[in-house]
Amino acid sequence: MELAVDQPFDLAASLESGQAHRWRREGEWFTGVIQGSFVKIRQASFSAQGSARDVVEFRSEPWPEAALLPRLQAYFRLDDDLNAVYQEICQDLRVAEMVGRYPGLRLLRQEPWECLIAYICSANNNIPRIHQMVEKLAESFGSPITLDGLVRHTFPTPQRLAQVSEGELRQLGLGFRARYIAPAAQAVADGSLDLAALAHAPYEEAKAPLMECPGIGPKIADCVLVFSLEKLEAFPIDVWVRRALGEWYFPGQKTPPDRVLLEWARQHFGRYAGYSQQYLFHGRRLER
């Protein structure tokens, strides 16, 4: 089935830009799991009667493609007018340069519970290892799904992970992060951390309860907010973004501490600071 796209969209850049952690490249296809469904998706150019357009094809199990379609549209934030976003964020010349290099890179709207655990796993970590940790959690405590002879697993529920001991998680290679998984799962399972409600709360009100969870600091909270809870003004500051800001915005100076950088960035980049952050992150990381 096809996913209709009528604005800038780069599937590979969006999936490989460090936002989400369950996608694999399988030849021309990407495979991943979205909301309990195993998805294969690819992007190819298509020419019809002399006009070119992008074709995004996908398959899924167990969700029928027609049922998954609106979920994919939401996941890739196709309800965002990316051209309008560009008009605002490209007023910053460095962001405009990154947009020129990676047009169609989109923020993803991920499932909040999985996003929360993935970014707890991101603490003092690199992207390949985060991928491995999240996949091990799914393989160990999720349910198998098969598509075209390939097997992936659903992400475990909060109730399931709340029952897993720190020792079991350490055996999966989570290290010190293991001590934070069960408390976060318990908070979501018993409703004391209501992720769905946070999507409708203002930025500061949504950030505060996330940071009450052990193991969640400002960067992890901002990642969860921008990638799953509709806070496009959030601006996560990790090592790559800190380097980008220091080198490109504060050259020849001592880079301010993260607290100061965050306040500056949210004022400087405005309501779409999260989009600016993702372009700066992706561009600086690929300049290594």
SS (H, E, C) 24-82: EEECCEEEEEECCEEEEEEEEEEEECCEEEEEEEEEEECCCHHHHHHHHHHHCCCCCCH
Arithmetic mean of pLDDT, 21-34: 95
Percentage of the residues of the chain whose pLDDT score is greater than 90:
93
* Contact present, 42 and 30 (Cβ < 8 Å): yes
Contacts of residue 234, Cβ cutoff 8 Å, sequence gap at least 6? 203, 207, 222, 223, 225, 226, 273, 274, 277
Report the mean per-residue pLDDT for the chain. Answer: 94
**pLDDT value at residue 53:** 60
**pLDDT value at residue 286:** 92
Is residue 246 very low, low, confident or very high in pLDDT (cuts 50, 70, 90)? very high
What are phi and psi for residue 84, nearest 5 degrees? -70, -40
Cα 208 to Cα 197, 223, 254: the distances in Å are 13, 13, 29
Q: Following CA atoms 219, 224, 230, 232 in sequence, which dihedral angle do they give, to the nearest 10 degrees?
A: 30
**pLDDT value at residue 287:** 85
Structure token pair of residue 138: 């799914």
Contacts of residue 256, Cβ cutoff 8 Å, sequence gap at least 6? 250, 264
Structural domains of the chain sorted by starting position, each given as residue range(s) with its CATH number in brackets: 2-79 (3.30.310), 112-228 (1.10.340.30), 239-286 (1.10.1670)
- The pTM (predicted TM-score) of the whole model is 0.94
Instruction: Point out which residues pair with 145 in neighbouring strands.
Output: 152
Arithmetic mean of pLDDT, 148-165: 96
Q: Amino acid identity of 93?
A: L
**What sign does the CA torsion over 106, 111, 117, 118 have?**
negative
52-96 pLDDT per residue, tens: 567 899 999 999 999 999 999 999 999 999 999 999 999 999 999
Supply the residues annotated as catalytic: 219
Structure token pair of residue 236: 């996560």
Does residue 288 register a pLDDT over 70? no
C-alpha angle 56/62/63, rounded to 5°?
55
**pLDDT value at residue 247:** 95
Q: Higher-confidence residue: 26 or 224?
A: 224
